[in-house]
Amino acid sequence: MVTTPTRATEAAPAARAGDRPVTGPGPARRGPVRVLVADDQDLVRAGFRLLVEGEGDLAVVGEAADGAQAVALARAARPDVVLMDIRMPRLDGLQATRELAAMAGLEQVRVLILTTYDSDAHVFEALEAGASGFLLKDAGPAELLHAIRVVAAGEALLAPRVTRRLIAHFTAARTTHQRSEERLAVLTDREREVLALVGAGLSNAEIAERLVISKATARTHVSRAIGKLGARDRAQLVVVAYQTGLVSPGHPASV
């Protein structure tokens, strides 16, 4: 099936050490998490539906065989999470993610990209477009279920062993062209420090420990950075940290 993708908080028992989701405050929820499955393979969709509907707190509200259908169904069903394959006919998962992220009324819909790292070179663009994270297609069932719950709670799901290399690869050629100082001018010095640590994959608890502040204060700094930079969520903060050079390949943030 699928593996968890920046380093983050504690994962489900089946997840590997070091692949903890990046955490942030999550909204209270009533009823099951509503999931839309988008994949062009019938057997894959059927497998995901069977897995998801075996959980009492999750429910499948639709299946899409291509990106265009995924966008249409998301508009109609308003799912909490779209499990989005990259390679689909008519409209691929990348463009479908862009359309969902830009669509009024779907601000609370979270997209989880399904990918194989070696072949899907557009994951970085998907994160820029508004995806809340991605999973590798070799992950186990427990990891997929955990990922859906993490993203539905308003958090980001990325993995250090993949994400840093991936984002570094696609931002290396762009970093020098970014107007970094102008872009970061809206942040306080402390918020810049926090942004760098988010980019390096630290959780709120780890940021608090590093900066000798409370977890609530760390969470507040992260939320303010998201607001000031116009980021959709924490996943996009990781992208910004690389784009602006606060974090660079092989050189994790230091305070």
Distance, CA of 151 to CA of 142 (rounded, Å): 14
Which 8-state DSSP code applies to residue 70? H
**145 against 121, higher pLDDT:** 145
Q: From start to end of the chain, where are the E strands?
A: 33-38, 58-64, 81-85, 110-115, 133-136
Fold match between domain 33-165 and domain 169-243 = no
The pLDDT value given to residue 129: 77
Q: Domain segments of the chain: what residues?
A: 33-165, 169-243
Q: Element (H or E) spanning 23, and its range?
A: none
Arithmetic mean of pLDDT, 224-233? 90
The three-class DSSP label of residue 136 is strand
Lowest mean pLDDT among 135-144, 151-160, 196-205: 151-160
**Alpha-carbon distance 103 to 122, whole Å?**
21
- Per the CATH hierarchy, to which homologous superfamily does domain 33-165 belong? Response regulator (3.40.50.2300)
169-243 maps to which CATH number?
Answer: 1.10.10.10
Tens digit of each residue's pLDDT (9 = 90 or more) over 138-152:
888 999 999 999 889
Contact 160, 18 (CB under 8 A): yes
Q: What is the pLDDT of residues 28-77, one digit of tens each?
A: 556 899 999 999 999 999 999 999 999 999 999 999 999 999 999 999 99
**Of residues 251 and 242, which shows the higher confidence score?**
242
Residue 250 has pLDDT above 60, yes or no: no
Q: Is the pLDDT of residue 111 over 90?
A: yes
